[in-house]
Amino acid sequence: MNTKIMMIDDDPDFVAGIKSILEKADYSVDVAHNPKDGFQALQAGRYDLLLLDIMMGRGAEGVALARKIRKDPKLKEMPVLIITGLREQIAFLFPGQSVHPHFVETDELVEKPVEPKLLLEKVSSLLALAEEKKQKVPG
Amino acid sequence: MNQRSKLLIIDDEEIVLDSCTQILAGGDIQIVTASNGTLGLQLLKEFIPDLVFVDLKMPGISGLEVLEGIHDFDPNMVAIVITGYATVTSAVEAMKKGAYDFLPKPFTPDELRLIARRGLEKRRLILETVTLRKEKEMLREQFAAIVSHELKAPLGAVQQNLFVLVDELSNQLTDEQKNRFERMQTGIGDLIKMILTWLRALSVDVNKIQETFQPTSIASVVSKAVETVQTHATRKDIEIVPSIAEPLKPVNGDEGTLVETLVNLLNNAVKFSRSGSQIHLNVEEDENDVLISVIDSGIGISKEDLPYIFNDFYSGKSGQAVEKGSGIGLAITRRIVEAHHGAISVESEPGKGSTFTIRLPALKVPEHA
């Protein structure tokens, strides 16, 4: 079965640049351009991984979405790759935490722009990690 | 619509209050009077005047005490003292307590009008400065959001698509074309890095790092910094020679930003050194401080540039043929060092080299621990 990826990012040019890397590697990619549509799509469909932008709309709306996902029983297991142009500020938005704050159970952080090789590596390692966790849960 | 100026007169002599009110009435001035200091200070808080006249010699609390009260309440309020015994000493003392000017008794109506006008003008300038300063702060804060979204995001998207194009076209591109793509990517990468540096310098409150200070080993800071700069140094055939006088007391600080400061200094040293030379990195301790020195034998800094090198956006005027920086690195370095309650200094001689020294307060190690 085809691996399905959801991407939530408000910058269509950036989305185009990411989507074509993933599609070339045989992932199927759906896109939402704001957190609200993205969350609805995630609840309606079945996705294996989420690519999430942090700075959308009026501020760090991606963070709010990640917190919502963590509380959702159906979505909380889903691995999330955070793609952000804001690594520098994240350390200051969340002082005292490492540069990579863990917003959800299984997540990773890469900086915009991301090289194709690195992107594919992160995606496949996150998918593998999620699969591993799933099998550990009995029943 | 222009707001009316508000004037408070504090004097125990009714005749002074009445005549001042008469002289200054009319025009755009609203006047309130008080017959003693205590009442005056109470009125101050309700009325919020622009300008206060205070008699120095009054029964009850003195004019100087009233001045102090005014200053404590709002240092931007303008106060002028009225004094019947116009001695230099009393005037000087009043000025020291924050009075803007003094008016010796007896005075003519014109003298009063003139000094009142000057006082109100002063107040207007102060308020204008306060507003401008606030606006500047707001701009600075908004700068982060504007720069990151309006400048950096589109560049990131362009870079992302360049990555993809190179990847997708990898079989069709000639070496010359690949080379051109690479140069575009490098150019955009440099731009993104520069924007990040500016963003960092202008929008981030460096003092926030103090919230997470902990005992930090300078030896570890040094080794991490040297590791980061090593590639740059090796490429220019420059040797970095660290020398640490162990044992060293730790400092109370933030390792990440301390490494950043040292990386900045080392990168500069490499940038301005000749191939084949050495950079010495000495760490030692004196009574209370840990001293970190970065010593190069490079091109040095001219006397004219030296006083400004820790300022924002200063990257040298003397026109030496070297790599140009963003002019931000040393300014950030200084701010980080100051956030650590330390100091940074420089000595330099053109043609001979520069020595940068960071002084950080050492942590007192408990005797018995």
Task: CATH number of the domain at A10, please.
Answer: 3.40.50.2300
Q: Which of B145, B159, B196 sits opposite A113 (nearest CB)?
A: B159
Mutate to test the interface with B, among A15, A19, A21 (most CBs of B within 10 A): A21
Quick one: which of B176, B278, B291, B285 has its CA closest to B237?
B278
Q: Is B168 on the interface with A (CB under 8 A)?
A: yes
Cβ–Cβ contact B210 with A under 8 A: no
ipTM tops 0.85 = no
> Residue B156 is nearest to which of A85, A88, A95, comparing CB atoms?
A85
Sequence-distant (≥ 6) Cβ neighbours of residue B182 within 8 angstroms: none
How much is the mean pLDDT over chain A?
84
Distance of CA A54 to the CA centre of its chain: 9
Contact B192, B152 (CB under 8 A): yes
Q: How far is B313 from chain A (nearest CA, A)?
A: 20
Q: CA–CA separation, B93 vs B104, rounded Å?
A: 14
Write down the pLDDT at residue B302: 84
User: Which residue segment(s) compose the domain that A49 sits in?
Assistant: 4-85+100-136
A24 CB neighbours in chain B (<8 A) are: 167-168
Q: Is B307 on the interface with A (CB under 8 A)?
A: no
User: Which secondary-structure segment (H or E) carries B37?
Assistant: helix B37-47
pTM for the full predicted model: 0.49
Residue B322: what pLDDT?
Answer: 47
User: Using H for helix, E for strand and C for coil, what is the string for B276-308?
Assistant: CCEEEEEEEECCCEEEEEEEECCCCCCCCCHHH
Q: Which residues of B touch A18 (CB under 8 A)?
A: 160
- What would the mean pLDDT of A9-14 be, rounded to a whole number? 90
pLDDT top residue among B368 and A133: A133
- Tell me which residue in A14, A24, A95 faces B156 most closely, judged by beta carbons: A14
Q: Name the residue among B339, B40, B114 with its Cα closest to residue B211.
A: B339
A94 in a structural domain: no
Interstrand relation of B353-361 and B343-349 (parallel, antiparallel or unpaired) = antiparallel
Residues of A in Cβ contact (< 8 Å) with B143: none
For chains A and B, what is the number of CB pairs under 8 angstroms? 66
> Using CA atoms, how far apart are residues B320 and B226, in angstroms rounded to an integer?
26
Residue A64 backbone phi and psi in degrees, to 5: -60, -40
- B151 and A CB contact within 8 Å: no
Question: Cβ–Cβ contacts within 10 Å for residue A127, how many?
Answer: 18
Residue whose entry in the numeric block shows the structure tokens 């966790």: A133
Contact A21 B167 (CB under 8 A): yes
The CA distance from B186 to B190, in Å, is 6
Which chain B residue shows the shortest CA-CA distance from A87? B196
Q: What is the pLDDT along chain B (369 residues), one digit of tens a residue?
A: 457 899 999 999 998 899 999 999 877 889 999 999 999 999 999 999 999 999 988 888 988 999 999 999 998 899 999 887 657 788 888 888 889 998 888 889 999 999 999 999 999 999 999 888 888 777 766 666 566 667 888 888 999 999 999 988 989 999 999 989 988 988 888 888 777 766 766 656 677 778 878 999 999 999 989 988 888 899 899 999 999 998 889 999 988 889 889 998 999 999 889 999 999 999 999 989 999 999 999 988 888 888 888 876 666 655 554 445 556 678 888 888 998 999 999 999 998 999 999 999 999 866 554
Q: Inform me whether the pLDDT recorded for A90 exceeds 60.
A: no
Residue A133: closest CA among A68, A78, A81:
A78
- Please give the full DSSP string across B160-227, using - where no structure is assigned: HHHHHHHHHTTTT--HHHHHHHHHHHHHHHHHHHHHHHHHHHHH--GGGGGGG-EEE-HHHHHHHHHH
Which regions of B68-108 does DSSP assign to beta strands (E)?
78-83, 101-104
Using pLDDT thresholds of 50, 70 and 90, give the confidence band for residue A95: very low
CB within 8 Å: A95 and B208: yes
For residue B199, list chain A residues with Cβ-Cβ distance below 8 A. 88-89
In a domain, A93, yes or no: no
**Mutate which: A9, A10, A18, vs B, most B CBs within 10 A:** A18
Q: How far B283 CA lies from chain A's nearest CA (Å)?
A: 28
Cα Rg for chain A, rounded, in angstroms?
14
Which residue's structure tokens are 């730790």? B250
Weakest mean pLDDT among A50-54, A90-94, B276-280, B348-352: A90-94
Average pLDDT of span A68-78: 90
Q: Report how far residue B356's alpha carbon sits from residue B273's, in angstroms, rounded to the nearest whole number.
A: 14
Angle in degrees, 0-180, between the axes of helices A116-136 and A12-24, rounded to the nearest 10: 70
Radius of gyration of chain B, Cα coordinates, nearest whole angstrom: 31
- Please tell me which of the candidates A13, A55, A114 has its beta carbon nearest to residue B149: A55
Total domain count, chain A: 1
Longest dimension (CA), chain B: 98
Q: Is B208 on the interface with A (CB under 8 A)?
A: yes
- Residue B111 vs residue A99, higher pLDDT: B111
Task: Check CB contact under 8 Å for A85 and B154.
Answer: no
